Each structure stands twice: as structure tokens, then as C-alpha cells.
Amino acid sequence: MIKDQIQLTFDVQKIRDDFPILRRSVYGKDLIYFDNGATSQKPQVVIDAINEYYTENNSNIHRGVHYLSQLATTQYEEARKIIQNYINALLSEEVIFTKGTSDAINLVAFSFGETLSAGDEIIISAMEHHSNIVPWQMMCERKGCILRVIPIDQEGDLIMSEFDSMLSSKTKLVAVTHISNSLGTINPVEEIIEKSHKFGAKVLLDGAQSIQHMHVDMQKLDCDFYAFSGHKVFGPTGVGVLYGKKEILDQMPPYQGGGDMIAKVTFEKTTYNELPHKFEAGTPNISGGICLGTAIQYLSKLDIQSIQSHEQELASYAEAKLNEFEGMRIIGTAKKKTSVVSFIVDGIHPFDLGTLLDKQGIAVRTGHHCTQPLMDFFEIPGTIRASFAFYNTKEEIDIFISAVERSLTMLR
């Protein structure tokens, strides 16, 4: 990356110009999009890349000798290298294209799970998304393994002393979210990885909520697996990435069978392809992979530290304003947080408040956010979640706060 290509001065208005959807209206109001935890909006360069692929370059990859097939193959594999460089993976074949974070975790749960035996233990945390709970439950049922859960405190921090007591020679894998989608908690993943490795356990990080908010470096983290989704990092839906260390991926059996993941097929025996193709059966989401590379290139030209500072400033500003309301309760007050503000108001159902905010042009998320056990812990049905991206502004938060005040007046 050339240093002078990086936008060192963070200009939120200039960035907003890159996102055409931010100029639209909803119910006659300017759209205020605070649902970035669910999916991010796309810059024009990504939209153009999607259109260009289907207009100019559409073809299947890896199989054809003709011009378009060779061109699409080159673009797809270049995108893999762009992602490799961005996350600092050692090798491009350690970057596996998937359908998204859920698909990536399921891949590990099945394939790594095949190497496990009855009585082996998997550790997750109490704040996990369902996608980092259910695959492990399914794997434990299939293999006779034991699932253990790191508890959290009322602020939304992991109780690390409890984690320490769980680790043993039986621990084979620790799968935790890097950042909680419901609370915004930034977990101490470096400490988790170091402690897990001392017991010989592998570590998977759910990076669905982290890669778009902070710099991630696979060599510094030293995690064994890292999963993220394209649509949350300003790229297309239906594509994601599983990073895995080559020596571990080589030992894992394929997740699915089909075209491109084979070396040779006979009716008697099939031998499997090398990485990364062993885990990429069938025709992939070609445009998705290529345009995820475009999104990562776009992100790489911004200063990630400035993004972090801007987003954390937004979250702190929003929390301070929300706390002025009577009956307000912020859910998730961890010491280290990212730009997620989840809250409830006494006597008000989250769905009702979210619906009234929508009518005022403000997109927030309501419900349990696919973290039902977490909501059970806090003894609430769900929250209203405002999740910010680098294209959001304090001016939008001011409008949001006024809309909350107006809505509460109607509901009380």
C-alpha cells in the first residue's frame, strides 16, 4: 500500500459522498442509517464493480481456457490476495471464500470437528451470536464433545477468571466473538489466544463485527481461524472469508463435495484439491469475491485509526445523550467498546420504539440480535441497537435523539 494513497485526514462528508444510499429519503425524511451491525452500506466503487463484472466480465472461473474465464479467474484470485494482504495472512491459500461468517464457522465446526473425539471440550462465551453457538452444539451432538460457556458480568465483560478455570488438556478449541454484535464489547482476544495455546487448544475468532472497525493482523493475533462477512465490511452480500493456518487446514477434511474441490475422481476413489480449493466446492459467488476485494481496497485507503476514533466518539456522544432520558438503560457498558449502543427504556417495548423511529427515517435494529442467551442473562426481551459506521455523524445522532424524545412522548 502506498502511503500517500491513504486518506490521513478523516473527512466524514467526503466519505458520505461515496455512499449513494445515504442521499435517499424514507417516509419523506432523510435516511439516517444506524443499522450497520446488521449490514453496512456500499460505496459507489463497489456498486460499479458489481455492474462491471456482470456487464463486461461474467464467466465461470478456474475451468475455462477462453478469455473471459481467464479474466474472471485472475480477478477472483487477485481479490483473495488483496484480502490476504489486508489481514496479513501468511499465504493466499489461507484465505477461503465462504458465503459469510456463519458459513465459515460451520465449515470449521464440521471439518475441524471431524478431528475431535467424545469428551473433548469446546469453549465459547455467553455473548456469542447464534452462528457461533448452534454449529458447536450440532458438532457436540455429532461427536460427543462438551460445550462450555465463559460467563459475563453485568457490564458485558467476560469473566476471565472463569475462563482460566475452564482451560484444560481437554480443551480443543475456543471460539469467541472479537466484538459483540449486541453489546459492542471488545473482547481480550490476545489474552484468550495466548492462554488457549498454552493448553494446545486452537482459537477461532468471529470477526463479523471487528474487521470494519479496527486493524486486524493474523500474524500478531496468532489466532488459528478468523471469520468475517463481506456485507458488513462495505462489500456484497453472500460472500465471506475464513482465514485458517495452512497446517491446520491441510489436516481438515473437506466440508462439502463437488466441482473444483477435487484433484481426481473415479467411482472407486476421490482425491482432494489443494488449498484453498479443497474448501470451495462448486461455482462460487464470483462477483461477490471480486467485489469484496474492491471493498477491502476502498477500506485500505482510509486511516483505520481515524475511523476507530470517529466511531467511538459517535458512540460516546450517543450514550451521553441517551442517558439523559428517564428510565433509560444502556445494555453493555464494558471497559472497551466499539460503536454499538444497545438500550432499553422502562415500560417501552423495543419494537414499538424502533417502529416509531423508522417512521421518522431512522434505521435501527430491535430484538435479540441473534443473541437470545445474552438477552436471557440481562432478563430482557431485546434491545434497540444503534450501530455506527464511519459515514455517520453527530448531526445524525442529534436528529436521532430528538426522534427518540418524540417517540417516547407518544408511547408514555
Active site annotation includes 370: yes
Q: Which residue has the cell 426481551?
A: 381
Give, in degrees to the nearest 5, the angle at Cα 246 between 241 and 248: 100
Give the whole-angstrom CA distance, residue 18 versus residue 22.
9
Cis peptide before 276 (omega within 30 of 0): yes
Q: How far apart are the first and last CA of the chain?
A: 54
Strand partners, 36: none
Give the whole-angstrom CA distance, residue 409 versus residue 394.
23
Cis peptide before 43 (omega within 30 of 0): no
Give the whole-angstrom CA distance, residue 322 versus residue 133.
31
The sheet that has 95-98: what strands, in order across it? 95-98, 240-244, 225-229, 202-206, 171-177, 121-125, 146-150
Strands (E), 290-330: 328-330
State the catalytic residue, choosing from 140, 145, 223, 370.
370
Number of alpha carbons in the 13 Å side-chain half-sphere of residue 17: 3
Q: Which residue has the cell 452500506?
A: 41
β-strand pairing of 202-206 with 171-177: parallel
> What are the angstrom distances between the C-alpha of 331 and each of 179, 319, 343, 354?
15, 11, 5, 16
| Coil/strand/helix, residue 261 | coil
Strand partners, 10: none
Burial (0-12, 13-18, 19+ Cβ within 10 Å), 132 = buried
List, by residue number, the catalytic residues: 370
